[in-house]
Each structure stands twice: as structure tokens, then as C-alpha cells.
Chains A and B, each alone.
Chain A
Amino acid sequence: MIAIVDYRAGNLTSVARALEHLGHRCEITDRPEAIRAAQRVILPGVGAAGATMDHLRRLGLERVLREDVIGAGKPFLGICIGIQILMDHSEEDDARCLGVVAGKVVRFPTAVDGRLLKVPQIGWNRVHQVRPHPVFDGVPDGSHFYFVNSYYPVPAEPSVVIATAEHGVVFCAALARGRLVATQFHLEKSGAAGLRVLDNFCRL
């Protein structure tokens, strides 16, 4: 069973539908015991870092995720806001995050070389695999994935970065450490490439 963490944000059902389409059983839940018992845990979603952390704390899930899931080496997948809250801190809402991956979350610049940059970036961007990882099995390097974000993660340790993309700046689009994987792009909205990465995670 895969637990999709319900932290009162949108987009949870899209991930559930994608997993069902791939033939994986999943449950949307906010119960600590269900998350501890799951074989894998996914934290998806759109939302702001501050509100997401507030909800996780109020639901008593901050420690569960940090210690019982990620700390215990259970396969964990963060999507979009789910990659950002792994860092120590986010500029968005000046939020203290989970701090399981050293680093920070910063906003895209509003302009680059005197040209206005569209923020949030909304759309399909090319993702470059900078380090081989099993979640990219069968996915050609340079494939496009769907992004919706104004902020991006900056891990302190560059070796955790497995993929980058460019939107005004080159940024970390995916990271991994052991069976902890996270993507800034939406796997559930990225067509066949996204479904493949999601399926690969379910087989880690």
C-alpha cells in the first residue's frame, strides 16, 4: 500500500488516479499509523510552504515523516511542494521546513539580463538527468515535464541533485538520497514520462 499524505491541499486525487492507472494500490490519508504502516509514502501537491508545514504540524505528521518515514529509509516521494519542504528553510512565508535535506528554497528572479522572467513558471520544461538514478529508467534525458512553481530548492550538497532544468536560472528539478526521491515537476501531469517516473518509484 502506498500512502498519499493528506495535508489539506489540492492535487491529491490526481496522484491517486495516476497510481491507480498504473495498477498500484494507494490510500489518501492523514493518519500517522497508516503512514507508518505503508510500504511507500508520497507527499504531492500544490500549495505554499508555510501553510503546508502548518498543516503537517497540526496533523502531527512532521515527526512521522522526518523520523518514521524518511529517517527509517522507507521509500518516500515528494512532488512539487513535496520537494521544497524537505529543505531546512523556504523563502516562501519564511517557513521552517522538515530539514531532512540540507539547503534552502528560493524564489525565481523577476528578471534575468534585463528581461522579465515569467513567474510562476507554468508549463513544460526540459529536464536534464545529471546523475543516473533508477527513477529515470526508460525516460530519455531531456524529456519534458510539467512544472508549476515560483520557488525552487537549492540543496547545500550538490551530489543529491539528480536532474536540473532551466527557467532564467539552472535549478534543481529532482533530487535523491537513498530511497528518498523528490521532483519539482508534477509526475501526475507530465504524460507518459511522468507516469514512468512514478511507476519506477513504486518499484524502488
Chain B
Amino acid sequence: MLSKRIIPCLDVRAGKVTKGIEFKGNVDVGDPVAMARAYYAQGADELVFYDITASNERRAIMIDVVRAVAREIFIPFSVGGGLRTLEDMRAVLLAGAEKVSIDSGAVRNPDLITQGAKAFGSQCIVLSMQVKKTGARPAVPSGYEVVIDGGRLFTGKDAVEWARQGEALGAGELCINSIDRDGTNAGFELELTGAISRAVSIPVIASGGAGTPEHLRQAFVQAGADAAIVASMVHYGTYPIPVIKRYLHEHGVEVRNGSWAGE
């Protein structure tokens, strides 16, 4: 049986890790390579890096980060943020990332998912989406709407429908980030995560709102998520990964090395 994955998320701006509170007021918390090394040693199951600057002149800095991380950590990691073309994806995969995470670029050009899956395999393509609860209406029956461009542009797309389309187009995994919960430490958006989990047969990663180990248990057990993104609760040392894993293990959730700290 697959274990549930805990994935620290590192938002990288100009080569430094930041953690946004609802995408506003970013604070530097550290060097991405040092943080990746620390989370690897703590027993993280995977890492994700978002290049939140994603402007052309900064892209080269991110590739250097990816290359340095790949030399030191031997678990999968994905890279996202501003990837718009096959060449953007190829660059981060060649630098050593296992997966690419595409978001706004895939909403603007859904064919990017299919092209990426064909070129690199579905297992490389994580379709990430930023979602806000805007209320059920004919165009958005679930009440959850996909938002792009760092939370600024509402697309009128239903999140559950977009998840189904993403799977059909070739995405290997889905990362569902709730903008309402992001940075709040109030727990994942379980209703949204659960609705998408039931709608697709590819792995679903819950994101946005993790504040305690219990929040992860809820995402796995109640919402059926396969993996969960953690950020501030690990970045600020509130809950080291072994502590989260031990809690989950004690509550009957299958995790890697749940019964002992670190590896």
C-alpha cells in the first residue's frame, strides 16, 4: 500500500525561500539548498519548489538552485512557477527535477499538459491549481473557481471540472491549493480536496492551510488526499517532519518511517 506523502513546499524568490501569507507580505526564511538538505534528512517524502518570481532574468537562478538540490537530495522533487513551454519544462527536468508543476500556463494553454505528458511521461506532469470558493452557479457548479496569475485573475472555470480535464489531458498528479486557506494554518479545504479526490483516479496533493499534524490526518483520511503540502508549520520549526509522521503513524495513517524519527 502506498504511504501518504508529506511534501514541504519552498517558495523561491530570487534564489531565496520565502513563505507568503495569502500571497502577501513575503518573508525570507532561508537558503533553498540548505532547507532541502534539512528536510531530506528529516524524512520528507518529496519536495516542491515554486519559483514565485518567474521572470526571465531570474529563471537562470532557479535552474542553478535545482541543479544544486539534485546533487544533494535523493528523493523526488518538483519545480513550478511560470512554466509556459515544453522548453521551460525540459530545462528544469534536465537540471535534475523529477516533476514539473504547471498552473496558470496550463489554464491558458491546456495542450501544454498533453505535450508535456507525451514528451516526458505523465508521471512528470503535476497540474497545480489555485482555487477560491466563489459560490455555486451554473458555470461553477462546485462553487470552487480556478484562479490564475498568483491569485489575481478569476477564470470562471470550475475546479472539479478542471481537475477531470487535467487528468484526461495527461496530468500524472493534481495539486489543489486553496487560496482561502493558504498561510492561515487553519487546516486544508477538505470539501474541495475531497470532491476532487473522488472525481479523478490520479494522485491528489492537498495544499494550503496546514497548521498541525491533525490537519494532515484530515486531508488523508477525510478528503482522500494522497499527499499533503506543508510550509510554515515546518519552515518555522513548529512541527519537525518526524513529529508529524509519528502523529500520523499513531493515528493509523501509513507513512514512510512513521515509527521512528528521521532516516
Tell me, yes or no, whether A47 is within 8 Å of chain B by CB: yes
Binary contact track B97-128/A, C-beta < 8 Å → 1, others 0: 01000000000000000000000111110000
Chain B residues near A188 (CB-CB < 8 A): 74
A window 154-184: CB within 8 A of B? 166-167
Chain B residues near A125 (CB-CB < 8 A): 1-3
Establish whether residues B74 and A10, one from each chain, have CB atoms under 8 Å apart when the complex forms.
no
**Chain A residue at smallest Cβ distance from B5:** A123
Chain A residues near B124 (CB-CB < 8 A): 10
Chain A residues near B45 (CB-CB < 8 A): 123-124
Nearest-CB distance from B108 to chain A (Å)? 26
Chain A residues near B98 (CB-CB < 8 A): 14, 189
Establish whether residues A118 and B3, one from each chain, have CB atoms under 8 Å apart when the complex forms.
no
Tell me, yes or no, whether B40 is within 8 Å of chain A by CB: yes
Establish whether residues A118 and B76, one from each chain, have CB atoms under 8 Å apart when the complex forms.
no
Tell me, yes or no, whether A148 is within 8 Å of chain B by CB: yes
| Interface residue from B1, B3, B5, B172 paired with A120 (Cβ < 8 Å) | B172
Chain A residues near B96 (CB-CB < 8 A): 13-14, 17
Tell me, yes or no, whether B213 is within 8 Å of chain A by CB: no
Binary contact track B61-84/A, C-beta < 8 Å → 1, others 0: 000000000111011100000000
A window 114-148: CB within 8 A of B? 116-126, 144, 146-148
The answer to whether A126 and B1 touch (CB under 8 A), given A17-B96, A46-B123, A120-B122, is yes
Q: Chain A interface secondary structure, helix, strand, loop or mixed?
A: mixed
Nearest-CB distance from A185 to chain B (Å)? 12
A window 182-203: CB within 8 A of B? 188-195
Nearest-CB distance from A164 to chain B (Å)? 12
Give the complex CA separation of A147 and B172 in angstroms.
13
| Interface residue from B40, B201, B203, B257 paired with A123 (Cβ < 8 Å) | B203
Nearest-CB distance from A45 to chain B (Å)? 10
Tell me, yes or no, whether A26 is within 8 Å of chain B by CB: no
Give the complex CA separation of A116 and B226 in angstroms.
14
**Chain B residue at smallest Cβ distance from A13:** B96
**Chain B residue at smallest Cβ distance from A198:** B74
Give the complex CA separation of A189 and B97 in angstroms.
11
Give the complex CA separation of A110 and B201 in angstroms.
9
Give the complex CA separation of A15 and B187 in angstroms.
37
Establish whether residues A123 and B74, one from each chain, have CB atoms under 8 Å apart when the complex forms.
no
Establish whether residues A21 and B3, one from each chain, have CB atoms under 8 Å apart when the complex forms.
no
The 7 closest A-B pairs by CB, nearest first: A144-B256, A123-B2, A124-B256, A148-B123, A124-B3, A192-B263, A189-B76
Q: What are some 23 contacts across the A-B interface (CB < 8 A)?
A: A10-B120, A13-B96, A17-B71, A21-B71, A21-B74, A47-B121, A110-B201, A117-B201, A118-B2, A120-B122, A120-B123, A122-B203, A122-B226, A123-B2, A123-B227, A124-B2, A124-B256, A125-B2, A126-B1, A144-B257, A146-B76, A189-B74, A189-B75
Known: A14-B96, A120-B122, A124-B45. 13 other contacts (CB 8 A): A17-B70, A21-B71, A21-B74, A118-B202, A118-B226, A122-B203, A123-B2, A126-B1, A144-B257, A148-B123, A167-B2, A191-B40, A191-B75
